[in-house]
Amino acid sequence: MTQLQVIIEEINHLSQEELAVLLREVIKRIDQQEQVEGILNDYVGIGEGLWDTDAQAYIDDLRQEDEKEQQEP
């Protein structure tokens, strides 16, 4: 049985009041996650134009340099 299935089984035994509390907590958790994602999305692309090199190209170059250093005796 998966963890989710266990939780669902436990939910089946809760009273209506307990279900209401659980629902409020789940909604609160979802709202918090959406808020965090929204804040992070505000920063997407903020560094664009600060460097002459594309971020992925920069990372690729670093990886190639690292591979060369590891291959040297």
- 53 vs 19, more confident: 19
Q: What is the pLDDT of residues 19-28, one digit of tens each?
A: 999 999 999 9
Residues in the chain: 73
Amino acid type, 32: Q
Handedness of CA 30, 32, 36, 38 (dihedral sign): positive
pLDDT at 71: 87
d(CA 68, CA 46): 31
Please answer whether residues 44 and 55 qualify as being in contact, where contact means their C-beta atoms are separated by less than 8 angstroms: no
